[in-house]
């Protein structure tokens, strides 16, 4: 029998807010443990929550970016559970009336355009951070109560590649939209992954297994692949799949059972009595819609249609928001779009990896990169000199023209110098000269290489070719 996997993701995204969701404590990564706390986020009896308007705005904007409808009226609920990371013993969340409903995300999966549907986005608060050390557990409440939204997809993905494409696109949209920094290492984006399998053709979903709290895209892909194989194996051997929560053991590359039969009623959701419902007017929604930034897909289309870049370049440049912003800024200062794209994808990208410095933290600026492109386009420096120049600008900064002069990087088009190198190349390579005269056009490259070497890369290639051809009587 053939099986089909159905995968849904519940992705928690930490919003970029200054303060926490229901109190004025600072939202700050890396602060001394338990310093950004107050009676509200420590769950003192009688402390009252106050909504963070900016978090509501960011959640709704995330919804608009994903094509969701914004609920004119949504409300808060308590999700009850007992665990040290939630001092109140309940989490404030939204059960049946979330801020955003419906929505979709369209992206490419292995060259095919796919649309994945989103069920809802609700606003909630984060739990504290537990650290388990030998014989003891430590709790840091700095994270307790920070703004967290949950983006719930439908079980509309059918492979680990679908899930990876969805997460990658979602991360990009959240970053471009200014909703979250989506720093995976800091836990800004974590997903619960639901996996079930069913015989191809069957409508009902199989029993789902939930793998909780994963922040690495690579591990999510591994866990999905393992779980699909495991479930098919169990069914084919006559077993049944239990609805359960499983963890992923990254060392062994396997999922393992954690708890079974957990359902929504276990949490005894009930309305939060301390907060009023959220009412959002149509004017407010239109105001937010007008403030939405350009998304990666729109930006890619603009690079292709307006700047004439290949699709490939547009994809690479928009993969990271910071790179694409640097590209846009550079293109305000030069029209050599393709050259700028080549340098960002080539030399600059390799410097970022090699030196472990982001473009923003490097000494290179949009202004200096634009000047490099102009120097190449105008024939002042060669492509290889451009790479050398970019390295200097990246690590030390400075004025491109002054560096070209100081380091003698300018191309030599001056005939007298080129003549000497060309004559030497011809005299030193009789075989290549003979082959060229016998009709092997490519053998001129050997001579060209000698001239470039003698000039230490500064000879102007088109001028060299023209001169060699003239001397060889072609």
Min dist CB 218 to Zn ion, Å, is: 35
Q: 93 exposed, middle or buried (CB, 10 Å; 0-12, 13-18, 19+)?
A: buried
CA gap 345, 322 in Å, rounded:
13
Min dist CB 22 to Zn ion, Å, is: 8
Residue nearer to Zn ion on the CB measure, 23 or 409: 23
List, in order, residues 6 or more apart from 287 with CB less than 8 Å away. none
Residue with tokens 């999700």: 79
- CB-based contact 22:50 (threshold 8 Å): yes
Residue nearer to Zn ion on the CB measure, 23 or 364: 23
Residue nearer to Zn ion on the CB measure, 18 or 258: 18
- Considering the rule CB under 5 A, would residue 51 count as an interface residue with Zn ion? no
| Range in contact with Zn ion (rule: CB under 5 A) among 33-41, 155-163, 272-280, 292-300 | 33-41
- Considering the rule CB under 5 A, would residue 105 count as an interface residue with Zn ion? no
List, in order, residues 6 or more apart from 286 with CB less than 8 Å away. none
Which of 26, 33, 38, 164 touches Zn ion (CB under 5 A)?
Answer: 38
Q: Identify the DSSP state of 412.
A: B
**Interaction residues for Zn ion, span 242-271 (CB under 5 A):** none
Min dist CB 220 to Zn ion, Å, is: 32
The site for Zn ion, by CB under 5 A, has a size of 5
Residue nearer to Zn ion on the CB measure, 33 or 315: 33
- Considering the rule CB under 5 A, would residue 21 count as an interface residue with Zn ion? no
Min dist CB 39 to Zn ion, Å, is: 7
Q: 451 exposed, middle or buried (CB, 10 Å; 0-12, 13-18, 19+)?
A: buried
| Range in contact with Zn ion (rule: CB under 5 A) among 35-43, 95-103, 422-430, 433-441 | 35-43
Residue nearer to Zn ion on the CB measure, 87 or 344: 87
Between the CA of residue 154 and those of 49, 119, 157, 213, what are the distances in Å?
31, 6, 8, 18
Residue whose C-alpha is closest to residue 96's, from 288, 284, 272: 272
CB atoms within 10 A of CB 189: 23
Which of 5, 13, 41, 189 touches Zn ion (CB under 5 A)?
Answer: 41
| Range in contact with Zn ion (rule: CB under 5 A) among 17-25, 360-368, 388-396, 455-463 | 17-25
Residue nearer to Zn ion on the CB measure, 88 or 299: 88
Residue nearer to Zn ion on the CB measure, 20 or 114: 20
Min dist CB 98 to Zn ion, Å, is: 24
The three-point CA angle 74-77-83 to 5° equals 145
Collapse the DSSP code of 263 into the 3-class scheme (helix H, G, I; strand E, B; otherwise coil) and give the result: coil
Between the CA of residue 214 and those of 73, 177, 187, 394, what are the distances in Å?
31, 23, 9, 36
Residue nearer to Zn ion on the CB measure, 44 or 270: 44
- Considering the rule CB under 5 A, would residue 23 count as an interface residue with Zn ion? yes
- Considering the rule CB under 5 A, would residue 25 count as an interface residue with Zn ion? yes
Residue whose C-alpha is closest to residue 19's, from 43, 53, 59: 53
Min dist CB 186 to Zn ion, Å, is: 19
| Range in contact with Zn ion (rule: CB under 5 A) among 23-31, 83-91, 104-112, 205-213 | 23-31
Side-chain half-sphere of 105: how many Cα atoms within 13 Å? 33
- Note the residues at the interface with Zn ion (CB under 5 A): 23, 25, 38, 40-41
């Amino acid at each position: 029998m053939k099986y089909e996997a159905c995968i849904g993701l519940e992705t928690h995204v930490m919003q970029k807010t200054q303060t926490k969701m229901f109190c004025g404590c600072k939202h700050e990564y890396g602060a001394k443990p338990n310093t950004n706390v107050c009676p509200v986020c420590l769950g003192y009896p009688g402390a009252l929550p106050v909504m963070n308007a900016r978090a509501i705005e960011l959640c709704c904007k995330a919804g608009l970016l994903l094509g969701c409808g914004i609920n004119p009226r949504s409300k808060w609920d308590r999700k009850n559970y007992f665990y040290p990371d939630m001092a109140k013993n309940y989490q404030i969340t939204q059960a049946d009336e979330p801020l955003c409903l419906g929505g979709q995300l369209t992206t490419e999966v292995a060259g095919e355009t796919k649309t994945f549907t989103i069920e809802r986005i609700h606003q909630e608060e984060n739990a504290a951070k537990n650290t388990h050390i030998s014989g003891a557990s430590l709790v840091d409440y700095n994270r307790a109560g920070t703004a967290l939204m949950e983006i719930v997809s439908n079980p509309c993905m059918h492979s680990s590649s679908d899930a990876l494409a969805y997460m990658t696109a979602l991360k990009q949209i959240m970053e471009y939209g200014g909703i979250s920094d989506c720093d995976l290492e800091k836990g800004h984006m974590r997903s619960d992954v639901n996996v079930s399998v069913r015989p191809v053709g069957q409508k009902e979903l199989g029993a789902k297994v939930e793998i909780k709290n994963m922040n690495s895209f690579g591990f999510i892909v591994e866990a999905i692949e393992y779980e699909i194989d495991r479930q098919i194996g169990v069914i084919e051997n006559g077993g049944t799949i239990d609805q359960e929560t499983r963890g992923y053991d990254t060392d062994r590359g396997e999922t393992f059972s954690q708890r079974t039969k957990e359902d929504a009623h276990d949490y005894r959701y009930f309305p939060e009595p301390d907060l009023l419902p959220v009412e959002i007017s149509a004017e407010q929604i239109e105001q937010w819609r007008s403030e939405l930034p350009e998304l990666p897909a729109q930006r890619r289309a603009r690079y292709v249609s307006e700047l004439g870049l290949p699709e490939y370049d547009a994809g690479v440049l928009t993969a990271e928001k910071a790179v694409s912003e640097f590209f846009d800024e550079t293109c305000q200062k030069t029209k050599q779009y393709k050259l700028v794209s080549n340098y960002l994808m080539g030399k600059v990208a390799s410097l970022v990896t090699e030196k472990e410095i982001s473009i923003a933290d490097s000494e290179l600026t949009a202004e200096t990169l634009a000047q490099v492109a102009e120097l190449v386009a105008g024939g002042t420096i060669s492509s290889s000199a451009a790479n050398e120049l970019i390295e200097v600008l990246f690590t030390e900064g400075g004025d491109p023209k002054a560096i070209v002069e100081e380091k003698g990087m300018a191309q030599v088009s001056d005939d007298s110098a080129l003549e000497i190198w060309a004559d030497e190349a011809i005299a030193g390579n009789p075989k290549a000269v003979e082959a060229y005269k016998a009709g092997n056009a490519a053998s001129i490259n050997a001579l060209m290489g000698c001239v470039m070497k003698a000039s230490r890369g500064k000879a102007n290639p088109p001028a060299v070719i023209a001169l060699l051809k003239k001397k060889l009587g072609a």
